[in-house]
Structure 1
Amino acid sequence: MSTHHDEVEDHDLGLSHDLPTLWHRRRLLGLFGGAGAAVALAACSTDSTGSTTATGAPSGGPPPGGGAGSSAEVGDGEIPEETNGPYPADGTNGVNVLTESGIVRSDIRSSFGGASGVAEGIPLTLTLTVVDVSSADDAGTAAAGAAVYVWHCDRDGGYSMYSDDVADENYLRGVQEADADGTVTFTSIFPACYTGRWPHVHFEVYPSLDDATSASNRLRTSQLAFPADVCSDVYATDGYERSVSNLAQVSLDSDNVFSDGYSLQLAKVSGSVAGGYTASLRVPI
């Protein structure tokens, strides 16, 4: 088990090196062909503690099963920009998995290339729908042809390519190109809850598959959160024992990423432990 679980700041408070890149990253003019699209930054600011604060994102207790995908999201602005943490494997902190052959895939449970490990855990189907909300249309336009890179920790809370026990693996990382509806779908496992962080999935949005696989022109970096009731059900199963106590010590309102508001980041989740879960999130950019 890697020692990176011991300190919260070792995971997702790497803003000292993330913000110079994230803060100055601007939206591409005419995103996905939209004429006259405004150049915009992520709707976020930085407080005195160095944490990212999403503008206008209300806090409060999450509804059972999550709230993402509801009509309340439409017109509420762009998904917040967040730190990619110290384990992105996108070339910004050491290794770069995005340029490796095999990274474009829908099933991210297994490693690829020279690695052969398979992540175990409760099955999870993850669907993200990317929409361009830079136009006057509050509903946004499906970002067909965009690409999304997702990554998250395994059942033990380790990150492939970094954590000691799985440094030689590259599972739970993958890229997909959005379809005509702006949707990408990944087959994965439900991630653990490690010390100091609410259960989450990292993701980055790129203008195209070529941009994603060359790790260039990144449009947005954010994180997806899971509803509490689903987490509790999953963590009551074999293999997730460490997550039980970790979840009891953190909440969405105390998490260092989601505490400033998570209305646009809380996934809508359905399913069961026996049959697996499906998580969906609308990603306005």
Structure 2
Amino acid sequence: MTDRQEPAHKQDLTRRRMILAGGAAVAAAGIGAGAVANASAGESGGRGKNPAGQGEACYRLTSETTEGPYYIDADKIRKDITEGKEGIPMTLRLKVIDSDTCKPVAKAAVDIWHCDALGLYSGYESMSQGGGPGGPGGGGTPPSGAPTDAPTGMPTDAPTGTPPSGGPGGGGHSEPTDDKRYLRGTQLTDKHGHVEFRTIFPGWYQGRAVHIHTKVHVGGTMTDAGYEGGHTCHTGQFFFAEQAVLDSAEVAPYSTSTTTRTTLTEDTIYDRSGVTGGLMKLSYRRKHMDRGVVGSITMGVDPDETHDGTGM
């Protein structure tokens, strides 16, 4: 070994760090200098089997979570799910891999759905517990500043309707109460296991940290009515670093929310396992979050298993 060579185990460690950081680096490249990359300090990916020549870390199985009450079957096949909703633009870059073989899972249907900037879910606006002044879950006059990191006191309005997913009372499914379908969509992964959505940064509602729901379906077929057949091999949620949420709270309309916010450490669903638990890598331009955020994550799934999130 020459003076300029590192021991093999250090080289392996360096390569692994570069691999795990790759998603954030690629995302930041499209935003420019001064970008912020957010992730938990306790983030861990872990390795499964890694065949010779495999160029990417193989993550453990991504944590399974409850489906929650606000799921609507995959019938909106589209990349842009905003439908004109106001909020911080967000590009969501997802990858699905087989956690055992580390190979990409192609032609999997990936569902995502989440609330708007004020905590309302399409299809369930009357049941949602978010909202700004005068809206469902709202408390009247907007606060003078952004929500604090630790919520204090109880909400002024008693919640009505079904509790939010993961909150008190569980997450049994509820039938939609309206025909709106913003911030919901499904796409098929390409041969590399990739899928990308255009959406907005989610807001928050009583009882839950900021999150995005997801399902991964395999073995079905695409039809005019949507994705049909097959089975759901993963039901999970994506989470956001606290600093990113605090930054979003300084931007309208998030800044008008009167809903008490639950922090990531207080959330009843996030299992504190970093990427494995759904914590996303986020990149955005420093002090200019309103211009857009890029979020990315790799989901390790077992295509042979069924996890529909309804029995949790």
Between the aligned partners of 2:119 and 2:37, the Cα distance in structure 1 is 24
- 2:88 maps to 1:88: no
Between the aligned partners of 2:263 and 2:229, the Cα distance in structure 1 is 32
- 2:97 maps to 1:124: no
Q: Is the partner of 2:266 in helix, strand or coil?
A: coil
1:190 corresponds, among 178, 183, 201, to 201
1:134 corresponds, among 93, 97, 100, to 100
Instruction: Give the root-mean-square deviation of aligned CA atoms.
Output: 2.5
Deviation of the 1:74 alpha carbon: 3.6
Q: 1:242 to 1:79 in 2, by over 3 A?
A: farther
Deviation of the 1:216 alpha carbon: 4.4
TM-score when scaled to structure 2?
Answer: 0.58
Cα contact 2:220–2:230 (8 A) shared by 1: no
**Residue type at the aligned position of 2:245:** C
Deviations along 1:4-26, whole A, 9 cap, x unmatched? xxxxxxxxxxxxxxxxxxxxxxx
Between the aligned partners of 1:229 and 1:176, the Cα distance in structure 2 is 29
Q: Is the partner of 2:45 in helix, strand or coil?
A: helix
Between the aligned partners of 1:82 and 1:71, the Cα distance in structure 2 is 18
Between the aligned partners of 1:64 and 1:277, the Cα distance in structure 2 is 10
Between the aligned partners of 2:191 and 2:79, the Cα distance in structure 1 is 16
Q: Which residue of 1 aligns with 2:300?
A: 284
Between the aligned partners of 1:105 and 1:152, the Cα distance in structure 2 is 15
Q: Which residue of 1 aligns with 2:281?
A: 268
Q: 1:237 to 1:153 in 2, by over 3 A?
A: same
Q: Which residue of 1 aligns with 2:233?
A: 219
Deviation of the 1:232 alpha carbon: 0.8
Q: Is the partner of 2:38 in helix, strand or coil?
A: coil
Q: 1:157 to 1:71 in 2, by over 3 A?
A: closer
Q: Which residue of 1 aligns with 2:148?
A: none
Between the aligned partners of 2:117 and 2:206, the Cα distance in structure 1 is 13
Q: Which residue of 2 aligns with 1:115?
A: none
Question: Which structure 2 residue ranges, 5 or more long, are not aligned?
Answer: 1-35, 49-58, 127-135, 137-176, 302-312
TM-score when scaled to structure 1?
Answer: 0.64
**Residue type at the aligned position of 1:182:** G
1:149 corresponds, among 96, 99, 111, to 111
2:39 corresponds, among 55, 66, 77, to 66
Cα contact 2:123–2:180 (8 A) shared by 1: yes
Cα contact 1:145–1:209 (8 A) shared by 2: no
Between the aligned partners of 1:274 and 1:260, the Cα distance in structure 2 is 27
Cα contact 1:206–1:217 (8 A) shared by 2: yes
Q: Which residue of 1 aligns with 2:54?
A: none
Q: Which has the higher contact order (CA 8 A, sep 6+)?
A: 2
Q: 1:261 to 1:104 in 2, by over 3 A?
A: same
Asked which structure has the greater CA Rg, the reply is: 2
Between the aligned partners of 1:218 and 1:192, the Cα distance in structure 2 is 26
